[in-house]
Each structure stands twice: as structure tokens, then as C-alpha cells.
Structure 1
């Protein structure tokens, strides 16, 4: 299985599916299932019974998980792929793995 390159808090765009073209912030990632929960993307309708947490019950609109292959990372307003790079620290032994935008070569985090 490949490494998950998109992380919580990233800005992404849906490139496939019913919400193609919508942008949102990643709320959570499930690396084992290779899916992500994105704000405002892949909205579903859920019917809930009244409970202690939701006393009213009724119809709830919430986000559902979407496959990571249907998402693209947005960097400076444009879609880009993500790569990795090792950067040396103070000592030559200290190597830090960072994400890099493939389109510009800039370090993301």
C-alpha cells in the first residue's frame, strides 16, 4: 500500500464523483481504507432517532468518506502532486522527510 500524501487540515479539490470541482479542508483520514472526510464534499442524508446527544432526531446532513484517488491537493490556488524530499538538519545524520509540491518544488510543511 502506498503512503498517504494528503493529511488532516490540507485544502483539497474533488476531481471525480458527484461533487467534482468542490474544494474543502480535510477533516480526517483513514489510511487503512485509503479514504478521507472532506468539509462540504460527498454530503449524505442520514435519518437519526432521538437520543441523548440529539434530542430532536430527524434528518441530518453530514459528510461521508471519499476515496483519496478522487482528491487533488491544492497549493497556492492550483492543483499539484505531492512528493517527498529529505532535508539535512544541523548534523549530517539528521535527515527530515518533508512534503514537496511537484509543480513548484516548494516545501509544503
Structure 2
């Protein structure tokens, strides 16, 4: 993969595009830059189910953070992960949001 960037030193902003082996932009990629800021501290975040899709589609979660999965659709939702990084299973629910998931690693 190739990454190109444009940095603005005064605003500490960056625009990064990651390309796959064919040279096409890679969608929903996450680039992490580590430095000592509050951004790396645990946070309480939400991933909403709305219009049959998750919003945001991609979310970076610092270690120690809690993420809730509110359902804003009119159909029941089942959220789960079998990833070695975090396994969880939130059984079917509609209006009441289950307890947030703690991402401890």
C-alpha cells in the first residue's frame, strides 16, 4: 500500500490517502498517529444504527473506551464481534440500548 499526505504544520492537520496494490484509493482505512494527547485517552463513543447502516461506518477506539450501539431504526438489532481483540454479543434489541461495550485491549 502507498500513502500520500499533505500536512499543515500550524493546524496540525493531515490529509492521507491510502492506495491498494492496484493504485486505487482504499475505503474505510484507519491510520493511527501516536503522540501524547487526550485523543489517546479512553472515551465514551456511540455507533448508531440508522437507515439499516452503522454511523459512523469506521470508528477508532482507544484502549479502555466504552462504545454504545444505540438503535435508531424500527427493526431489532443484533450486534456482535468474534474478533480476538474484543468478543461481545448484544442480543436483539429495539429501543433500549444495551450497556456500552468496554474495549479493554
TM-score range, shorter chain: under 0.3
TM-score (norm 1): 0.22
TM, length-normalised to structure 2:
0.23
Between Structure 1 and Structure 2, the one with more strand by share is: 1
